[in-house]
Amino acid sequence: MDKKSKMIIIALGVISLILGLIAFSSMFSYNSEKAKHKETVTKFDTEKETLVTQISHAKAETKSIRKKLETIQRELNTAASLSDDWKNKYEIALREKEGLIDKITQLQKAKKTKSAAAIKESSSTSAITDDSYWASVLRDRAKLEIEVTGLQERLSDIGIRLEEISKDKNQVDVELKIIKQTNADLERELTYNKKLSQTLSEELVREKNDKKAFVIQLSKIREDYLIIQEQLRFITDEKVLLSKRVKNLKEEKDLLSRKIIEMDQTLESRMDEIIKIKDNLTAIRSTATSSFPGAGSKVVELPAIVVRADSRGTSRRGLSGEVLAVNRENNFVVMDIGESSGVKTGMVFDVYREGRQLGSIDVIQTRRDVSAADIKYLKPGQQIKIGDAIR
């Protein structure tokens, strides 16, 4: 029992040590994961703020670019309208130039025709005076020269206007090309900003999912830690209960040891009494044999009537015991009840084993805690053994 108790205590100590190590390892792992998670959360928050700022900037830039695109589109439409206007004006000026050239040609033709007509008229008509004729010719010529000069000046103005229109048209074409290039650049930048915004949004969603996964993992670690703590608490309680049980077992062991010592002392005293009873019975048998020398070995079959008292048939109600010893040589048994239990000489008891009656015995001597009885009757094939019940 003592060795078993030591083994239980050692096993409990080993289990407690293992659980302590597991709890310490879990606590250390939990703290490490918690610190790592805190750093990760801080990093995610910083990156989140950076991404949110970048997204805000990208949205602002996108908005600004869209406004620029709208402005450029309006300017492009205006430039296209101006280009159409200048083109119309250029075509009108060309038509006017062509008309003026035709008109000058017609005037020159008319001048030549008038000169020829005047010469013809001067040769055919002699009544007209020279002064009136030349005055008319000079007036017509001056008038034609004035018209030609005006037409030439107008033609020069139209050429200047055409040149200016051509320059303006070239400038408008250059500006239109620049606007188209700027528009293409802004569209590319807008596309890039859209892709960047989408990428940043995806990264933000991914980081949110990672943060959520970290929170779930941390919660699971916390639950595992609480479960281990609960198991450790349960095992600690079990250890306390087992320690109390070991203590109780030790007390029971000490009590049993004391009882065993008392039983040994009682058995020793009973053995002494049994030896005395055996010696007395042997002496009685020897006396009986010497009194009846012809009886031989058959004396063991006769009841020892010399020591029986008048108490035969005394009530044995409530008395029961066990066979402590069997002496087959002298045909008697020793049982564990005596005068202190109310056993008297001459009482008859039945012997049982597993509820079956084996025979009967007759008390011939009593002591304080034991008694001796002759085997009065046995069923065929039966033998009385130590431990059989007596009642």
- Spans of all domains in the chain: 2-229, 303-390
Question: How many Cα neighbours within 13 Å face the side chain of 93?
Answer: 19
**Are 189 and 68 a contacting pair, CB within 8 Å?**
no
pLDDT (0 to 100) of residue 301: 39
- Measure the N-to-C terminal CA separation of the chain; round to a whole number of Å: 36
Distance of alpha carbon 107 from alpha carbon 42, whole angstroms: 94
With a CB cutoff of 8 Å and minimum separation 6, the contacts of 385 are: 323, 326, 353
Least confident of 10-19, 141-150, 312-321, 334-343: 312-321
Q: Say whether pLDDT at 123 is over 60.
A: no
Q: Which of 288, 345, 298, 351 is nearest to 324 (CA)?
A: 351
Three-state secondary structure call for residue 64: helix
Distance of alpha carbon 297 from alpha carbon 315, whole angstroms: 33
pLDDT digits (tens, 9 = 90+) for 30-65: 788 778 878 877 887 888 788 778 778 777 877 887
With a CB cutoff of 8 Å and minimum separation 6, the contacts of 286 are: none
Distance of alpha carbon 236 from alpha carbon 85, whole angstroms: 99
Q: Say whether pLDDT at 303 is over 50.
A: no
Distance of alpha carbon 276 from alpha carbon 274, whole angstroms: 5
* Helices 2-124 and 130-291, axial angle in degrees (round to 10): 170
CATH number, domain 303-390: 2.40.30
Given pLDDT bands bounded at 50, 70 and 90, which one contains residue 149?
Answer: confident
Phi and psi at residue 358, in whole multiples of 5°?
-100, -35
Distance of alpha carbon 69 from alpha carbon 298, whole angstroms: 143
Q: Between these two residues, 110 and 71, which has the higher pLDDT value? A: 71
- Using a 10 angstrom Cβ sphere, with 0-12 exposed, 13-18 middle and 19 or more buried, the burial of residue 361 is buried
Residue ranges in the chain assigned as alpha helix (H): 2-124, 130-291
Given pLDDT bands bounded at 50, 70 and 90, which one contains residue 124?
Answer: low
Given pLDDT bands bounded at 50, 70 and 90, which one contains residue 115?
Answer: low
DSSP letter (8 states) at residue 96? H
Q: Say whether pLDDT at 291 is over 60.
A: no
**Are 300 and 331 a contacting pair, CB within 8 Å?**
yes
Buried b (16+ CB within 10 A) or exposed e, 136-157: eeeeeeeeeeeeeeebeeebee
Q: Which of 372, 355, 352, 354 is nearest to 363 (CA)?
A: 372
**Segment 366-375 mean pLDDT:** 90
CATH number, domain 2-229: 1.10.287.950
365 pairs with which residues across the strands?
A: 372
What proportion of the chain, given as a percentage, has pLDDT over 70?
82
Distance of alpha carbon 9 from alpha carbon 14, whole angstroms: 9
Q: Which of 166, 214, 183 is nearest to 66 (CA)?
A: 183
pLDDT digits (tens, 9 = 90+) for 324-355: 999 888 889 999 999 988 999 999 999 999 99
With a CB cutoff of 8 Å and minimum separation 6, the contacts of 44 are: 207, 210, 211
- Mean pLDDT estimate for the chain: 77
Q: Which of 2, 19, 42, 8 is nearest to 229 (CA)?
A: 19
Distance of alpha carbon 154 from alpha carbon 166, whole angstroms: 18
Distance of alpha carbon 334 from alpha carbon 325, whole angstroms: 5
